[in-house]
Amino acid sequence: MLEKIYETASFIKNVVGTVPNIAIILGTGLGELVHEISDKKEIPYEKIPNFPLSTVEGHSGKLIFGELGGKPVLAMQGRFHYYEGYTMQEVTFPIRVFQALGIQYLFVSNAAGGMNGSFDIGDIMLIDDHINLFPEHPLRGKNYKELGTRFPDMSEAYNKELRLMAMNIAKENNIKLQHGVYIGTQGPTFETPAEYNWFKIIGGDAVGMSTVPEVIVANHAKMKVLAFSIITDIGIIGKIVEVTHQDVQEAAKIAQPKMAYIMQEVIKRLN
């Protein structure tokens, strides 16, 4: 595993030269943020040694290097999901490569179903915390001390300073920003009404099929994480309607510019 991580990191360094310390994972329907990145250099996943390939519509499969908010960034356009059949080690392999490249900040976005009664479709939710309901843990198995401690602390999985910065930027620009707890499940089915209700009872505000594994590994790697969900459907009894992947993509595209602005401004304000 370590050999694969270092081999991939070495390949990327040789292609791009200087590597930034900020990485962004762009979720379903949110890949258009790359249009805001200037001076781009792209590497398709299929050309990167040991990298998995994204199989989901809306995830195009490229590593993009460039400038956003006046800072050099690395962006994943397309992520990997447990429901695609990948192991958790494969799902989180890019985070390990980021670690080897010296990434210090990880920005994550996703599309999610909302269970909070104050949420509307198209809202942006700042993730304060998460509940992990995946059946496999990304740190299960042999622990490599080069990568992190055996039992990492998760009391601040989402960095407080970055969250406060995002909230201030949203307030300054009159952008509606919700916040709450994200529940990560394996998918690929959307939730039943009973499942939505249970997720709300156990403390969730939104639910999706990604993000949690990457955030766990990023914390293991001592990265500072900031994450957002775009609420693409509502899972509240009496408001639940049939939802498709296309619906999710469309709702995400509408909210994407506001989320992109917040991300750019946070990046701009990093020291």
Q: What is the pLDDT of residues 186-199, one digit of tens each?
A: 989 988 889 999 99
Tell me the average pLDDT of the chain. Answer: 89
Per-residue pLDDT of 239-250, as tens digits, reads 666 666 676 677
Number of domains in the chain: 1
pLDDT at 182 over 90: yes
Judged by average pLDDT, the poorest of 27-31, 126-130, 152-156, 267-271 is 27-31
Quick check: 258 and 124 in contact, CB under 8 A? yes
Specify which residues 231 forms β-bridges with.
Answer: 112
Per-residue pLDDT of 150-169, as tens digits, reads 999 999 999 999 999 999 99
In sequence order, the 6+-apart residues with CB closer than 8 A to the CB of 151 are none
Domain that holds residue 262: 1-269
User: Average pLDDT in the 86-93 region?
Assistant: 94
| CATH code of the domain covering residue 51 | 3.40.50.1580
Task: Tell me the one-letter amino acid at 85.
Answer: G
pLDDT at 29 over 80: no
Instruction: Please measure the distance between the N-terminal and C-terminal CA atoms of the chain and give it in whole angstroms.
Output: 33
Quick check: 168 and 269 in contact, CB under 8 A? no
Quick check: 56 and 32 in contact, CB under 8 A? no
Secondary structure (3-state) at 265: helix
- DSSP labels, 207-225: EESSSHHHHHHHHHTT-EE
pLDDT tier for residue 208 given thresholds of 50, 70 and 90: very high
pLDDT at 119 over 60: yes
Per-residue pLDDT of 46-58, as tens digits, reads 899 999 876 655 4
User: Average pLDDT in the 35-40 region?
Assistant: 86
- DSSP labels, 21-63: SEEEEE-TT-GGGGGG-EEEEEEEGGGSTT-----STT---EE
Measured distance CA(40)–CA(5) in Å, rounded? 24
Tell me whether residue 76 is exposed, middle or buried, using C-beta atoms within 10 angstroms of its C-beta: 0 to 12, 13 to 18, 19 or more: buried
Give, in order, the Cα–Cα distances in Å from 126 to each of 177, 206, 263.
Answer: 7, 10, 11
Measured distance CA(139)–CA(88) in Å, rounded? 8
% of the chain at pLDDT higher than 70: 91
